[in-house]
Amino acid sequence: MTDSATLLQAYDDELRTDAEVRGAEAVERHGPLVVATFAGGRGFVSYRDLAGADASAVAELVAWVRDRFAGDPGVVEVEWKTRGHDAAPGLHESLVAAGFAPEEPESIMIGEAAELVAEVALPAGVVVRRVVDEAEVRAASAMADEVFGGPVSTARADDLLRRLARGDGTEQWVAEADGMFVSAGRLEPVPGTRFAGIWGGATRPEWRGRGIYRALTAERARSALALGKTLVNSDSTEFSRPILERSGLVKVSTTTPYVWRR
């Protein structure tokens, strides 16, 4: 399975809707939409497709979502996840008019897990390992927050710790040098599918270009294969996309989150 059309079909069939709202506190459906609320007051909207809706119908769906979450004071942030290959007339305009702001688009990367497995020579003193201890998980999460340019999020670390405690297969991996985490990323196997997601890849700027992210990815791919997952997916920034492409993953589309904040 190497051609982009086949990989994109697998993505649409296996990784959209139900697979995206695992662990949500509440899930409801409105027309073609799957609407979820997660811990920490986070709303989320996705769909397999928009069922042929025209621009007027799309605008009505967006308005319903805005009103649904605006009326729930416990929700502080909502993500509407868009994909570049969807037929969605007028969606950008309707989301912006409803107060959703587009964030940076990312590449949807998919490929065989086995393609990512490689022996990578690490810089002297760098070790790649899995972490489960609470303090180390929080430190890895904080490092990623800093690399991505945002404030350190206690809520994000809390959510990761909950997932690790549930034993749903989520794993946190890090690269460590002299007692400091210099890179980190998660593995998230998706039940009932062939996929495991590679998420949260972050490497400190001064450590980039030295094979560390590649080694971190290879270890997560090995773990995915051990869990019986043959495909991996990732929403990749322009930092990680070229690395994954060199490993054999294919860019099948783009995804852009539109975010509403109270």
Verify that 197 and 168 share a domain, yes or no.
yes
Q: Provide the 8-state DSSP code for 179.
A: T
Closest Cα partner for 115 from 217, 190, 184? 217
Q: How many CB atoms lie within 10 A of CB 72?
A: 15
pLDDT digits (tens, 9 = 90+) for 2-16: 689 999 999 999 999
Question: Among the three residues 84, 107, 130, which one is the final residue of a domain in this structure?
Answer: 107
Q: How many CB atoms lie within 10 A of CB 230?
A: 14
What is the DSSP pairing of strand 77-83 with strand 180-189?
A: unpaired
What pLDDT, on a 0 to 100 scale, did the predictor assign at position 2?
61
Where residue 204 sits, what CATH number does that domain have? 3.40.630.30
Verify that 118 and 223 share a domain, yes or no.
yes
Question: Among the three residues 107, 136, 155, which one is the final residue of a domain in this structure?
Answer: 107
Opening angle at CA 187, ends 259 and 111, nearest 5: 90
Mean pLDDT of the chain: 94
Domain count of the fold of the chain: 2
> Within its chain, how far is the Cα of 88 from the centroid?
22
Opening angle at CA 84, ends 169 and 171, nearest 5: 10
Verify that 147 and 215 share a domain, yes or no.
yes
Verify that 54 and 115 share a domain, yes or no.
no
Query: Mean per-residue pLDDT for 24-36?
Result: 97
Verify that 138 and 235 share a domain, yes or no.
yes
pLDDT digits (tens, 9 = 90+) for 45-89: 999 999 999 999 999 999 999 999 999 999 999 999 999 999 999
Q: Residue 136's pLDDT band (boundaries 50, 70, 90)?
A: very high
